[in-house]
């Protein structure tokens, strides 16, 4: 029995027995002392089971492929085989030297030459100097970097770098070779070469465990495929059979996924359309609201402006009126100098180019009077002030009865007082023919074209008295009774 | 344990490669290149000897020689402890992806620092010649042994710290603070006689004390290392090495997961 086990073990290169592997997934890895002290609870973690009881064996010289979707535990399995990780439960036994093509170019120093780096890199895979020296030529030949091998690797292109790295890795003769998805190195020709080399290695009796997503490569090189799903072996068997099943499942999954994604996209689109519509509607509402607001504002502004203009106009008018009024009052004021008998209600107008400076009503004796008798003779003396030396000035005089009835008026001819020296009075002699009544005296100084220079209305009140009490009315008419 | 040793032996060439890479790679591309190995500690010595002989007026004959002899082993030790703390973390990519005995990393690191110290002893010997002190050859025979003891001590500490740092990153900062203080409790800038009587036992608890003192005995006082120092250093070094190896072995299993 024990002998059997021994025989078996010699035939078995890899024995994975009911292996479980959990990873701690920290919510927020509190790695510093402070955090651990301050909040021990923060170091809470969740155990994620990556491998959940996996068992398989690989015979000597067999090539086994691990397939499965991303995150199913393929790479973890490889790392367990190389003893980078250790299982939480179960046992991993590997007989013979393991070489893993998991990490390429480990320990490469950019400033060191290709040759020096071959030594470093190969020694990391556990080769001794002697072994490396023996393989040196094969490695360089395989890498096709003969011309560059003594240049620092920092001068290499990334393709050359990977070729060198791969050349080292694949020339490490091992009893068990682990390959993780690295056959995608370099150009197509180099990939083919790597693949051929892998087949050659297999032909030499090396046990190979390979992880790849390329089914073509798997079919060509593997004797058996192990399909891992959710940390457990779902199926294992001949490559074609398992591969087809896997691809079918993946395709189904892919289709499911596509359908799922399409539905999600549709839902997403619908949602977005709804949102977009809603947004548009809101925007429009907003726009309308704004426009209405603007209109209202504009209207208010216009109204306010019109109101202001109106007010201004009124104020200007008022001001003008006030000024006019003030001027008028001022001019009325001047009337006091014109005549000592100036009446309070007298008004003065005209443009002021020629002014009356003095008016006197005198009787025969030259006495200023306010009461005139019917039938007696009087004279009105008017003195003009003509600063502009106007040549043609017309002086008019008028009598208006107290109650506003215009009774009499006349004016000078232009020539009549021409040539009079400045300041000499213009005399208007008249015989009073009014009966009893009170009369306001009006004067005008104007151009022949009737542009009024000075206008004095109601300067003084003359009271007319008649000795003959038989006559009634306005005039003393020449009459005779027979 | 035996298996471990066997495994490490199989990877001896990896250690050699990494040491070579470390030594050759460090100064590649710099103008002065390997000379930096000398310039750095030399400058340190110049500064310290200026400060201590001019300002503090330390009454030690040929103080610069005394200082150099202590400083070179200290530089090695300091490099190992500080750099050793981060050496495994620094190789995270390799540790996560490739299977190899993880001890290789601290061993390579300490060894490359050790080789550096060997080179820097050229300065020490030169200083001895310049001082006119000369060598006492019977004493010189002990030099490799003392160096080996220091190597073991440094390696033990580097192993323990490099493994601990993987789990606990603050270690790096703690160590750097610690090292700043450590140099002053080691008789490098003063002789043991300067230490007050009541603290002398205390300073002997510092594992670097007997080692530095033995360097002084061999090269400065020109006598063979005294028995008590040898015994003390042997005990410290072996204990540190065994403890470090044990700690590393326990912690290394989960390196790939923790990084």
Is pLDDT above 90 for B241? yes
Give tens-digit pLDDT for B25-60.
Answer: 777 667 677 777 788 878 888 888 888 888 888 788
In a domain, A293, yes or no: no
* Residue A476: CB atoms within 10 Å: 17
Answer whether residue A32 is part of any domain.
yes
Whether residues B94 and A112 touch (CB distance < 8 A) is answered with no
CB within 8 Å of chain B, chain A residues 215-244: none
Residue A100 at interface with chain B, using a CB cutoff of 8 Å: yes
Tell me which chain A residue has its CA closest to the CA of residue B19.
Answer: A120
Residues on chain B touching A103 (C-beta within 8 angstroms): 93-94, 96-98
Question: How far apart are the C-alpha atoms of A454 and A396, rounded to whole Å?
Answer: 10
Q: How far is B184 from chain A (nearest CA, A)?
A: 26
A212: in domain: yes
Q: Is position A316 within any domain?
A: no
Instruction: Say what the pLDDT of residue A3 is.
Output: 42
The DSSP string of B17-64 is HHHHHHHHHHHTT-SSGGGHHHHHHHHHHHHHHHIIIIIS----TTHH
| CB-based contact A120 B168, cutoff 8 Å | no
CB contact under 8 A, B17 and A107: yes
Residue A184 φ then ψ, to 5°? -110, 35
Q: Which domain holds residue A213?
A: 2-97+174-255
Per the structure, how many domains does chain B have?
1
Taking a C-beta distance cutoff of 8 angstroms, is the pair A124, B17 a contact?
A: yes
Which residues from chain B sit within 8 angstroms of residue A114, using beta carbons? none
A91 with A239, same domain: the answer is: yes
Chain B residues in contact with A85 (beta carbon < 8 A): 256-257
Q: Which helix (H) or strand (E) holds A59?
A: strand A45-59
Q: Are residues A217 and A89 in the same domain?
A: yes
Q: How far is B230 from chain A (nearest CA, A)?
A: 36
Q: Which residues of B touch A106 (CB under 8 A)?
A: 93-94, 97-98
- With contacts defined as CB-CB under 8 Å, which chain A residues touch B13? 119, 123, 127-129, 132
Average pLDDT, chain B: 88
Interface contact flag, B97 A102, Cβ < 8 Å: yes
Does residue A125 belong to the interface with chain B, where contact is any CB pair within 8 Å?
yes
- CATH code, domain with A352: 2.70.50.60
CB contact under 8 A, A124 and B93: no
- Chain A residues touching B254 at Cβ < 8 A: 86
Q: Which domain holds residue B220?
A: 2-258
A17 domain-assigned = yes
Minimum distance, in Å, between the CA of residue A269 and any CA atom of chain B: 42
Q: For chain B, say whether A84 makes contact (Cβ under 8 Å).
A: yes
Q: Would you say A135 and B26 are in contact if contact means Cβ atoms under 8 Å apart?
A: no
Interface test with A, best of B4, B17, B168 (most A CBs within 10 A): B17
Single residue among A220, A240, A255 that ends a domain in this structure: A255
Q: Which of A123, A133, A153, A182 to mutate to test the interface with B (most CBs of B within 10 A)?
A: A123
The partner residue sitting opposite B13, judged by closest CB among A100, A102, A128, is A128
Q: Which residues of chain A have pLDDT under 50?
A: 1-4, 6-7, 42
ipTM for the whole predicted complex goes beyond 0.95: no
Task: Tell me whether residue A369 is exposed, middle or buried, using C-beta atoms within 10 angstroms of its C-beta: 0 to 12, 13 to 18, 19 or more.
Answer: middle
Any CB–CB contact under 8 A between A48 and chain B?
A: no
Last residue of a domain, one of A255, A276, A298: A255
What are residue A409's DSSP bridge partners?
Answer: A398
B97 touches chain A (CB under 8 A): yes
- Number of structural domains found in chain A: 2
Residues in chain A closer than 8 A to B108 (CB atoms): none
- Does a structural domain hold residue A128? no
Rounded to a whole number of angstroms, the distance from the CA of A34 to the nearest CA of chain B is 9
A111 touches chain B (CB under 8 A): yes
Burial readout A206-241 (b: 16 or more C-beta within 10 A, e: otherwise): bbbbbbbeebebbeebbebbbbbeebbbbebeebee
Answer yes or no: do A71 and A191 share one domain.
yes
Question: Is residue A142 classed exposed, middle or buried when 0-12, 13-18 and 19+ CB atoms within 10 A define those classes?
Answer: buried
- Chain A residues in contact with B30 (beta carbon < 8 A): none
Q: Is residue A168 part of a domain?
A: no
Is A161 among the domain residues?
no
Q: Is B184 on the interface with A (CB under 8 A)?
A: no
Minimal CA separation from A105 to chain B, in Å: 10
Taking CB atoms and an 8 Å limit, are A109 and B254 in contact across chains?
no
Angstrom CA distances, A268 to A235, A272, A278, A282, A397, stand at 37, 6, 15, 21, 103
Nearest CA in chain A to B99: A84
Q: Which residues pair with A233 in a beta bridge?
A: A228
Whether B168 and A129 lie within 8 Å, measured CB to CB:
no
Lowest mean pLDDT among A417-431, B121-135, B211-225: A417-431
User: How many other CB atoms are found less than 10 A from the CB of residue A480?
Assistant: 4
Burial class (CB in 10 A: 0-12, 13-18, 19+), A313: exposed
Residue A32 at interface with chain B, using a CB cutoff of 8 Å: yes
As a three-state string, the secondary structure of A66-120 is EECCCCCCHHHHHHHHHCCCCCCEEEEEECCCEEEECCCCCCCCCCCEHHHHHHH
Residue A100: list chain B partners with CB under 8 A. 98-99
Q: Is B6 on the interface with A (CB under 8 A)?
A: no
* pLDDT higher than threshold 90 for residue B209: yes
Please name the member of A32, A34, A111 whose beta carbon is closest to the beta carbon of B29: A111
Asked if residue A365 and residue A236 are part of one domain, the reply reads no
Grade residue B4 by pLDDT with cuts at 50, 70 and 90: confident
B93 contact residues in A (CB cutoff 8 A): 103, 106
CB contact under 8 A, B11 and A126: yes
Instruction: Answer whether A127 sits within 8 Å of B13, measured CB to CB.
Output: yes
Residues A1 and A120: their CA atoms lie apart, in Å, by: 45
Q: What is the mean pLDDT of residues B236-255?
A: 92
Considering only CB atoms, B21 lies closest to which of A86, A103, A109, namely A109
Closest-CA distance, A112 to chain B, in angstroms, reads 7
| Alpha-carbon span A338 to A351, nearest angstrom | 17
CA distance A30 to chain B (A): 9
Q: Does A269 touch chain B (CB under 8 A)?
A: no
pLDDT of residue A187: 74
How close does chain A come to B22, measured CA to CA in Å?
9
Q: Which residue of A has its CA nearest to B26?
A: A111
User: For A386, phi and psi rounded to 5 degrees?
Assistant: -125, 75
- A229-258: pLDDT as tens digits: 888 888 888 888 888 888 888 778 778 888
Instruction: Tell me the C-alpha to C-alpha distance, in Å, between residue A141 and each of A104, A133, A149.
Output: 18, 13, 10
Cβ-Cβ contacts under 8 Å between A and B: the total is 88
């Amino acid at each position: 029995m024990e002998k059997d086990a021994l025989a078996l073990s010699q035939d078995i290169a890899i024995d994975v027995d009911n292996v479980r592997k959990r990873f701690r997934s920290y919510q927020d890895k509190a790695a510093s002392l402070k955090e651990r002290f301050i909040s021990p609870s923060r170091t809470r973690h969740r155990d994620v089971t990556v491998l959940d009881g996996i068992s398989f064996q690989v015979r000597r010289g067999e090539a086994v492929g691990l397939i499965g979707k991303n995150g199913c535990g393929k790479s973890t399995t490889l790392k367990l085989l190389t003893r980078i990780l250790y299982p939480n439960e179960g046992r991993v036994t590997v007989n013979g030297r393991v070489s893993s093509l998991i990490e390429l170019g480990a320990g490469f120093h950019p400033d060191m030459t290709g040759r020096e780096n071959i030594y470093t890199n190969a020694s990391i895979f556990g080769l001794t100097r002697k072994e490396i020296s023996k393989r040196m030529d094969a490695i360089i030949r395989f890498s096709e970097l003969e011309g560059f091998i003594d240049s620092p690797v920092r001068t290499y292109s990334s393709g050359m770098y990977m070729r060198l790295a791969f050349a080292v890795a694949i020339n490490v003769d091992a009893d068990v070779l682990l390959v993780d998805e690295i056959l995608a190195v370099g150009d197509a020709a180099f990939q083919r070469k790597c693949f051929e080399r892998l087949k050659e290695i297999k032909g030499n009796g090396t046990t190979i465990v390979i992880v790849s997503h390329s089914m073509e490569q798997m079919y060509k090189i593997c004797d058996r495929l192990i399909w891992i799903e959710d940390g457990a072996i779902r199926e294992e068997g001949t490559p074609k059979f398992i591969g087809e099943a896997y691809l079918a499942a993946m395709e189904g999954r892919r289709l499911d996924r596509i359908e799922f994604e399409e539905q999600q996209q549709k839902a997403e689109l619908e949602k977005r359309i709804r949102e977009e519509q809603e947004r548009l509607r809101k925007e429009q509402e907003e726009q309308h609201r704004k426009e209405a607001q603007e209109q209202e504002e504009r209207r208010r502004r216009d109204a306010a402006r019109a109101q202001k203009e109106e007010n201004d106009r009124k104020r200007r008018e008022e001001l003008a009126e006030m000024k006019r009024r003030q001027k008028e009052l001022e001019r009325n004021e001047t009337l006091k100098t014109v005549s000592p008998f100036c009446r309070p209600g007298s008004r003065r107008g005209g443009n002021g180019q020629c002014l009356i400076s003095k008016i006197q009503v005198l009787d025969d004796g030259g006495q200023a009077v306010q009461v005139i008798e019917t039938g007696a003779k009087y004279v009105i003396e008017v003195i003009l002030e003509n600063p502009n030396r106007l040549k043609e000035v017309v002086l008019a005089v008028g009598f208006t009865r107290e109650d506003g009835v215009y009774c009499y008026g006349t004016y000078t001819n232009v020539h009549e007082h021409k040539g009079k020296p400045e300041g000499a009075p213009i005399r208007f002699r008249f015989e009073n023919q009014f009966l009893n009544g009170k009369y306001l005296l009006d004067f005008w100084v104007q151009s022949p074209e009737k542009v009024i220079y000075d206008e004095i209305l109601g300067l003084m009140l003359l009271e007319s008295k008649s000795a003959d009490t038989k006559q009634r009315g306005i005039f003393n008419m020449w009459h005779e009774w027979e | 344990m035996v298996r471990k040793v066997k495994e490490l032996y199989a990877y001896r060439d990896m250690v050699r490669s990494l040491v070579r890479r470390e030594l050759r790679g460090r100064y590649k591309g710099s103008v002065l290149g390997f000379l930096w190995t000398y310039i750095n500690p030399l400058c340190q010595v110049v500064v310290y000897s200026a400060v201590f002989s001019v300002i503090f007026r330390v009454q030690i004959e040929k103080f610069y020689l005394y200082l150099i002899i202590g400083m070179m082993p200290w530089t090695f030790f300091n490099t190992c402890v500080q750099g050793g703390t981060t050496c495994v973390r620094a190789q995270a990519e390799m540790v996560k992806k490739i299977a190899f005995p993880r001890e290789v990393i601290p061993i390579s690191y300490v060894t490359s620092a050790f080789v550096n110290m060997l080179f820097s002893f050229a300065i020490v010997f030169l200083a001895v010649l310049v001082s006119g002190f000369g060598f006492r050859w019977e004493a010189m025979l002990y030099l490799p042994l003392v160096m080996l003891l220091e190597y073991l001590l440094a390696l033990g500490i580097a192993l323990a710290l490099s493994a601990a740092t993987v789990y606990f990153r603050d270690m790096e900062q703690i160590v750097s603070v610690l090292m700043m203080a450590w140099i002053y409790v080691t008789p490098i800038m003063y002789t043991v006689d300067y230490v007050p009587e009541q603290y002398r036992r205390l300073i002997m608890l510092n594992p670097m004390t007997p080692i530095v003192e033995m360097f002084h005995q061999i090269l400065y006082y020109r006598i063979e290392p005294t028995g008590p120092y040898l015994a003390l250093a042997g005990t410290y070094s072996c204990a540190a090495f065994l403890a470090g190896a044990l700690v590393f072995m326990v912690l290394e299993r989960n390196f790939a997961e923790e990084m």
